[in-house]
Chains A and B, each alone.
Chain A
Amino acid sequence: MDDLYREVIIDRYKNPRMRGVLDPHDYTYQDDNPLCGDQIRVDLRVDENDKISEAAFSGSGCAISLASADLLVESVVGKTLDEVKQLGKEDILEMLGIELGPVRLKCALLSLKVMKAGVYGIEALEEELG
């Protein structure tokens, strides 16, 4: 087994726990990385305390991007939206357990980018509308 493709990555890629779509959902966002064609959508449901009760991702991409999406989405269940905003690059790399060069880092961080855009984007919109 190649050390970059640790068992957890291959396992999550082949047997994702959190793949799916939530309909209805409270938050959803989708984005792609045109450089490699990876595309990820994240759906979230929150309870009355803004705590994430359910989460799912869908889309296509390389093993690194899909494994990190699965791990990330699993890790945010039970967290508040404020806690999601605090998540960063290191959290993803820690979940994957690897170091990545700049090109592959974009793959690993796509799902976090999508999730944050969903959370920030809709909240900002709600505040604006009062």
Chain B
Amino acid sequence: MAASETLALDVRRLRAEFPVLTRQVGPGVPLIYLDSAATSQKPRAVIQAMSSFYEKHNSNIHRGIHALAEEATEAYEAARARVAQFVHAGDPRSLIFTRNTTEAINLVAHTWARMALGPGDMILLTEMEHHSNLVPWQMLAAEKGLVLEFVPVTDAGVLDLNVYSSLLSRGPRLVAFSHMSNVLGTINPVGQMTAAAHAAGAKVLIDAAQSVPHLPVDVEDLEVDFMAFSGHKMCGPTGVGVLYGRLELLEAMPPFLGGGDMIKRVHLRSFVANDVPHKFEAGTPAIAEAIGLGAAVDFLTSVGMPAVRQAEETLVGYALDRLAEVPGVRVLGPEAEQRGGVASFTFEGIHPHDIAQLLDRQGIAVRAGHHCAMPLHERYGVPATTRASFYLYNTTEEIDSLIAGLYKVKEIFN
């Protein structure tokens, strides 16, 4: 237990950093926020970094000669360097700021994939993908005559790696999958799957929207070609996300959106694209948000990502145990060791909308629906689930409240 003691989070102290956690959602009803897989709450340091930028340094970046422009540029690029360091990317130029994970995946679809793939080429996805890692490929497949294949999800909620191997033997050009499922919580073996994909000659993109906020992620150790994630799920603001790409791939890719900042020079009928990463950042970016994301990774680094992961594994293990006690509750997905801080469940005879609504009356924020993963819900034969998701500021007492809340829901429906 010595190791776990050294990693233990001081949750009380951490919670004090998140102003919203002190609010009530009704008279005498404190907020119990169990929806961090949708978006995380923001610590004071992030909120302050953004207001401080607007109060003291606000300016556009990269072109101005004045003091504020230089400060803003420096802060924006420093944020890029800190986020790069956070995911262990050796060169900050391999990080492109986007709006979110969705835009980062679309960027790859519109540039690398559109350039490199042609009729009959195969993209390998999985049944557990979020719509943001399905629809961009469906759109490109329709345009270019590509073939989409899917790694199935087993009843235990993990990818069927035998089928994965046989699909790889058909020579996909790209394998794109989530590091961690936003519904099942499943943490996929990215390193192993990437090595196999590379051996089969495919490039690899991972949707890390749920993993980078919750686990230590070393992008160079995983050896993926592309990785997408969002700022707002990792204590940062909305409006900023990240695409990591291997530098030699990014350099060979055509630009994404055209406009200011992505060019070196422009003539009436032609342009010369800027260097990486600016080539992919057309127009004024979300400057304050990028700076906020820089503050978020500083915050997470100070807490320590191994400690975050350990705390969440404990929380989700506790949640699985407690949910198993409630008659009629069925949790989708694997055991705690293979799972991030997510528990999606069905509750016999009660629709998720009703569950979420009645929990909300008790101050408990969960999510009900298909969580942007309709095909996965079809796979399990359920139209919708109720999802509780956890982050570093959650406590086992809050899970106890969730369980008590579910008993109240049952009482109302009985």
Contact = CB atoms under 8 A, between A and B. Distances in A.
A35 interface: yes
A1 to B, nearest CB: 7
Contact of B384 (A2, A36, A64): A36
A38 B370 CA distance: 12
Nearest to A103: B353
A104 B368 CA distance: 12
A104 B357 contact: yes
B412 A36 contact: no
Nearest to A34: B374
A64 B307 CA distance: 42
B351 to A, nearest CB: 4
Given A1-B412, A2-B412, A64-B353, A35 B361 contact: no
A64 B354 contact: yes
Interface string A23-49: 000000000001111100000000000
B372 to A, nearest CB: 11
B354 A2 contact: no
A10 B357 contact: no
B353 A104 contact: yes
B260 interface: no
A19 B357 CA distance: 24
Interface in A34-76: 34-38, 60-64
Interface residues of A, number: 20
B351 A36 contact: yes
Given A4-B361, A34-B374, A36-B368, A107 B353 contact: yes
B66 to A, nearest CB: 45
Contact of B383 (A4, A13, A36): A36
A37 B383 contact: yes
Interface in B342-392: 351-354, 357-358, 361, 368-370, 374, 377, 382-384
Contact of A62 (B353, B370, B374, B382): B353
B353 A5 contact: no
Interface in B305-329: none
A30 to B, nearest CB: 15
Contact of B352 (A2, A5, A36, A64): A36
Contacts of B370: 35, 37
A62 B383 contact: no
Nearest to A106: B353
A61 B352 CA distance: 9
Contact of B358 (A2, A14, A38): A2
A2 B412 CA distance: 8
Nearest to A3: B361
Given A34-B374, A35-B369, A36-B384, A63 B351 contact: yes
Interface of A: 1-2, 4-5, 10, 13-14, 34-38, 60-64, 103-104, 107
Given A36-B351, A38-B383, 10 more contacts: A2-B361, A36-B353, A36-B369, A37-B370, A38-B351, A60-B383, A61-B351, A62-B351, A63-B354, A64-B353
8 contacts: A2-B358, A2-B361, A2-B412, A5-B357, A35-B370, A36-B369, A63-B413, A64-B353
Interface of B: 351-354, 357-358, 361, 368-370, 374, 377, 382-384, 412-413
